[in-house]
Amino acid sequence: MGGRGGVALALVLAACGSTKEKDPWRAGTPPSTETVGWIDDLPVTYGDVARYVRTKEPEAFARGLEGLVIERITLGEAGPMGITVPRVLVEREARKRLAAWEQNVRAASREQTGEEIDPALWLQRVSGASVADLRAWIEHHTEVELIQDRLARYELLTSPHAQVSLILVEGEERARKLAEEARTGDFAALAKANSVHPSAAEGGRIGGALVPADIGDAVVREALFQAKPGDVLGPFVSRGAEPGTFEIYRVDAGAPARQGSYADLSREIAKELETRPLDVAEYERWRTRVLVRHGFLNADLLPQ
């Protein structure tokens, strides 16, 4: 019994696939009192499972709730703006994800049991759902994610935005010396050698572009969006890292806000997303902005 439970857990994780929000797999919204299984002679309900996850895996529980919030915000913002995704695009992407899920199930079953399990049969046994149910779920979430891509890219284009590199160091005197070196020297090399920020390996380059709403510190925000490409700024006291750390920025590129409704820019955005898809950093910044905008996060918690 314990062995099968381990296999089922591995395959459930495989079935979840990979989405931006890492939402757990769920089919529909059953009532909390519905029985999903038995332990000895005692029924286990959806409510029991939710309480267990909330207690034992609070981060996973929070991610699930955040996923629901983000989905509601996405559809709520996209509707009035008229943002839609062509059905053919949704179906094409959903087919890729469903195929990846099937491969994951087969691979996980071979690894765990030495035998390959038919994905449709496994899904029916562990969840009572059919492949058609899963396909519908995947298509829905695929459409939501593709709408999010359009919302995020439209917000970026219609805001001033800048691409920057960063050096994060401890100590004000050291930061001042590095800033002076960076103004005439190799910023990327200095970042690799001195920065304690995760971007150091990339020469300090911060993925994606920043918009003013991404910067919580008004002094830093004003400096970044008044600077010209090539300008080195700082050091600034870092409020998002360890106490006593300082930030030095280089503005690598920038662009003013575009004017126009989503309808005006929709073709350009769709074409750009085909050639330059939304990366994780751009998506995470958009997600943080909407959570702040709708009151689910405190703006004071924004990184500098």
Predicted pLDDT at 89: 94
Percent of the chain predicted with pLDDT > 90: 59
pLDDT of 266-277, one tens digit each?
A: 999 999 999 999
Percent composition of the chain: helix, strand, coil (DSSP 3-state, to 5):
60, 10, 30
Radius of gyration of the chain (CA): 23
Nearest to 155 by CA among 213, 221, 75: 213
- Supply 247's token pair: 């930030």
The owner of tokens 């996923």 is 67
Measured distance CA(14)–CA(150) in Å, rounded? 28
Measured distance CA(63)–CA(53) in Å, rounded? 11
Measured distance CA(122)–CA(94) in Å, rounded? 20
Which one-letter DSSP state was computed for residue 210?
B
Strands of the sheet containing 232-237, edge to edge, are 161-170, 245-255, 232-237
pLDDT of 33-72, one tens digit each?
A: 777 777 777 888 877 777 777 777 776 666 677 788 899 9
157-182 average pLDDT score? 95
Predicted pLDDT at 167: 95
Contact 117, 106 (CB under 8 A): yes
Of 41-50, 108-117, 142-151, give the lowest mean pLDDT range: 41-50
Those residues whose C-beta lies under 8 Å from the C-beta of residue 81, and which sit 6 or more positions away, are: 151, 154, 261, 262
- The answer, yes or no, to whether residue 208 has pLDDT greater than 90, is no
pLDDT of 215-269, one tens digit each?
A: 988 999 999 999 999 999 999 998 776 788 999 999 999 999 999 999 999 999 9
Confidence class for position 127, pLDDT limits 50, 70, 90: confident
CATH number of 160-257: 3.10.50.40
pLDDT of 9-26, one tens digit each?
A: 333 334 444 445 433 333
Of 63-67, 111-115, 156-160, give the lowest mean pLDDT range: 63-67
282-304 average pLDDT score? 78
- The answer, yes or no, to whether residue 30 has pLDDT greater than 60, is no
Measured distance CA(118)–CA(135) in Å, rounded? 16
Predicted pLDDT at 10: 37
- Residues of the chain within CATH 3.10.50.40 domain(s) are 160-257
Predicted pLDDT at 62: 65
Most confident of 43-47, 80-84, 118-122: 80-84
Start-to-end Cα distance in the chain: 51
Predicted pLDDT at 122: 87
Which amino acid, 73?
A: I
- Average model confidence (pLDDT) across the chain: 84
Measured distance CA(153)–CA(282) in Å, rounded? 9
